[in-house]
């Protein structure tokens, strides 16, 4: 069974980049009939906040990306302890005593010589006595995972194709701080093993972590999951801007963006499939395929999201939006105004054309006479607009714009807007006559 996971650190709101990762993992699981797990990466107690954990859950719920289960790293510390003990017994982790300044200096020296800043494994040269002396001085060690330099690292990446790393070209990663707290690398690998994660799909900023973690899986006696790394999402001006980067789902919701619009865009952005206003998740899931993912960074643009959003709003049926619409609006009202909406919020403004008050328009004397005639001619029927305009066409000889525009202006206070044939029945006979008379007589 396929198991995917989305593993955010609760140190901030989700932004479009990690929403996209969540969505793709969810789609991959759905496509393969598997499970999608939420894993809260909260080992960093200082930076993790409960309010962000709650916001992540709420945002996923709003997006309709429902996890099949949730784990939290802070509740799994004994698992990391156990894995650590086993790796230590197997000689795959070792204590280090360098200070941050010492490490920094070592890096600078290597860089100064034009060499890659790979950790020199100085700590492995310490004798038992030297180690004991450090500890006696009260220096607690931090811990590194010892890469096996004789075990070449390779995997077939679902997006990037064959990947190869020479472990000797990588630093042994620090996995645990001197205060006993965990860095990201080992807990994530332990969780992926114990949660039975089969497919890891994440951003390409994790490629070198994957190289290291593949050796961790093997060292723990586990088969590594299948990996795929997607190109990052960028904003219009290159990197995802601060503003965009910090946009939580609240900001999208406040702007009138529908979750379906965000999902439709992010599902296909950066793939060779066309980005279309597809509200049906089944359709998006069926077409989801890592083979369509490109290697170039995908560009996220607000304007594109707005365009998709408008098209999605135009497809929404009354039942799904009813609770968000102004009082009194019914199905016919929704259908009349829907084609004019950019967002569902706009319904308030357009519905005012029905309920009034409408804006006042100044008319020429000739048009005033015409509108007086219209008030007289107004007859209520199934289709009062077509009845009125054909009567007036005959009686006045007007056609086209001079026939229609003054009527629209008198009835709505605007020169564009919803289809009058749909709108007029909603305005109602008495109110329509009153508006025509007011326009005619001032």
Phi-psi region of 241 (alpha: psi -120 to 50; beta: other; left: phi over 0): beta
CB of 92 to ligand GLU, least distance (A): 20
Query: What token pair was written down for 271?
Result: 């793939």
Nearer to ligand GLU, 43 or 310 (CB): 43
Q: How far apart are CA 45 and CA 72, in angstroms?
A: 12
CB of 184 to ligand GLU, least distance (A): 6
Q: How far apart are CA 192 and CA 244, in angstroms?
A: 30
Burial of 240 (0-12, 13-18, 19+ CB in 10 A): buried
| 43 in Cβ contact with 184 (< 8 Å) | yes
Q: What is the dihedral of CA 244, 266, 69, 290, to 10 degrees?
A: -130
CB of 281 to ligand GLU, least distance (A): 23
Nearer to ligand GLU, 184 or 350 (CB): 184
| 72 in Cβ contact with 42 (< 8 Å) | yes
Kindly give the interhelix angle for 429-441 and 365-377, rounded to the nearest 10 degrees.
160
- Residue nearest ligand GLU by beta-carbon distance: 41
Nearer to ligand GLU, 98 or 194 (CB): 194
Q: How far apart are CA 357 and CA 413, in angstroms?
A: 9
Positions 69 through 108 that interact with ligand GLU (CB under 6 A): none
Q: Which residues contact 343 (CB under 8 A, 6 or more apart)?
A: 255, 256, 257, 309, 310, 313
Positions 22 through 51 that interact with ligand GLU (CB under 6 A): 41
CB of 144 to ligand GLU, least distance (A): 19
Query: What's the farthest any 2 CA atoms get from each other in the chain?
Result: 111
Binding mask 153-192 for ligand GLU (x = CB under 6 A): -------------------------------x---x----
Nearer to ligand GLU, 10 or 141 (CB): 10
Binding mask 2-21 for ligand GLU (x = CB under 6 A): -----xxx------------
CB of 323 to ligand GLU, least distance (A): 34
238-246, Cβ contacts within 8 angstroms, sequence gap of 24 or more:
240/15, 240/16, 240/17, 240/300, 244/15, 244/16, 244/300, 244/302, 245/15, 245/17, 246/12, 246/13, 246/15
Residue choice 13, 20, 35, 202 for contact with ligand GLU (CB under 6 A): 202
Nearer to ligand GLU, 206 or 433 (CB): 206
CB of 153 to ligand GLU, least distance (A): 17
CB of 296 to ligand GLU, least distance (A): 21
CB of 89 to ligand GLU, least distance (A): 26
Positions 206 through 235 that interact with ligand GLU (CB under 6 A): 206
Q: Which of 417, 416, 411 has the alpha carbon at shortest distance from 433?
A: 411
Nearer to ligand GLU, 9 or 376 (CB): 9
- Stretch near ligand GLU under the rule CB under 6 A, chosen from 1-9, 91-99, 149-157, 382-390: 1-9
* Residue 278: HSE in the Cβ half-sphere, 13 Å Cα cutoff: 20
Nearer to ligand GLU, 188 or 389 (CB): 188
Coil, strand or helix: which one is 380? coil
Q: How far apart are CA 285 and CA 3, in angstroms?
A: 16
Q: How far apart are CA 241 and CA 244, in angstroms?
A: 5
Nearer to ligand GLU, 41 or 172 (CB): 41
Q: Which residues contact 136 (CB under 8 A, 6 or more apart)?
A: none
Nearer to ligand GLU, 7 or 261 (CB): 7
CB of 9 to ligand GLU, least distance (A): 4
Nearer to ligand GLU, 8 or 277 (CB): 8
Sign for the CA dihedral angle at 388, 394, 397, 401 comes to: positive
Nearer to ligand GLU, 7 or 439 (CB): 7
- The site that binds ligand GLU (CB under 6 A) totals a number of residues, namely 8
CB of 6 to ligand GLU, least distance (A): 7
CA 233 → CA 41, 157, 190, 402, 428, distances in Å? 21, 19, 28, 51, 50
CB of 321 to ligand GLU, least distance (A): 34
Q: Which of 9, 6, 5 has the alpha carbon at shortest distance from 49?
A: 9
- Interface residue list for ligand GLU (CB under 6 A): 7-9, 41, 184, 188, 202, 206
């Amino acid at each position: 069974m396929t198991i995917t996971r989305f593993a955010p650190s609760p140190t901030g709101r989700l932004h479009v980049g990690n929403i996209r990762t969540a969505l793709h993992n969810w789609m991959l699981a759905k496509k393969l009939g598997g499970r999608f797990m939420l894993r809260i990466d909260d080992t960093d107690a200082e930076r993790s906040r409960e309010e962000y954990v709650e916001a992540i859950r709420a945002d996923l719920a709003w997006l309709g990306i429902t996890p099949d289960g949730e784990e939290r790293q802070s509740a799994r510390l004994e698992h990391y302890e156990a894995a650590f003990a086993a790796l230590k017994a197997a000689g795959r982790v070792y204590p280090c005593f360098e200070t941050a300044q010492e490490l920094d200096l070592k890096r600078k020296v290597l860089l100064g010589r034009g060499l890659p800043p790979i950790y020199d494994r100085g700590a492995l040269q310490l004798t038992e006595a030297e180690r004991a002396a450090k500890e006696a001085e009260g220096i607690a060690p931090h811990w590194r995972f010892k890469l096996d330099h004789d075990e070449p690292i390779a995997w077939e990446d679902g997006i990037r194709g064959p990947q190869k790393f020479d472990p000797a070209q990588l630093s042994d990663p620090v996995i645990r701080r001197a205060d006993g707290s965990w860095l990201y690398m080992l807990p994530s690998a332990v969780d992926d093993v114990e949660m039975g994660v089969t497919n890891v799909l994440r951003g390409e900023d994790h490629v070198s972590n994957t190289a290291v973690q593949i050796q961790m899986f093997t060292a723990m006696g586990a088969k590594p999951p299948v990996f795929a790394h997607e190109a990052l999402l960028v904003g219009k001006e290159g990197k995802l801007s601060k503003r965009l980067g910090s946009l939580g789902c609240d900001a999208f919701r406040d702007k009138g963006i529908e979750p379906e619009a965000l999902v439709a865009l992010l599902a296909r952005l950066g793939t060779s499939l066309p980005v279309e206003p597809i509200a049906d998740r089944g359709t998006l899931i069926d077409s989801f395929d890592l083979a369509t993912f490109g290697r170039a960074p995908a560009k996220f643009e607000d304007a594109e999201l707005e365009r998709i959003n408008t098209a999605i709003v135009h497809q929404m049926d009354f039942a799904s939006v009813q609770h968000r619409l102004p009082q009194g609006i019914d199905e016919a009202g929704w259908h009349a105004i829907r084609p004019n909406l950019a967002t569902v919020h706009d319904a308030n403004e357009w519905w005012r054309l029905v309920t009034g008050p409408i804006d006042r328009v100044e008319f020429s004397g000739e048009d005033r006479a015409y509108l007086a005639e219209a008030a007289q001619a107004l007859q209520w029927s199934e289709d009062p607009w077509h009845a009125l305009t054909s009567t007036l066409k005959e009686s006045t000889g007007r056609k086209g714009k001079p026939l229609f525009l003054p009527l629209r202006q008198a009835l709505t206070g605007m020169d564009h807007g919803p289809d009058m044939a749909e709108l007029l029945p909603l305005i109602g006979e008495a109110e329509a006559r009153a508006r025509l008379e007011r326009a005619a007589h001032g």
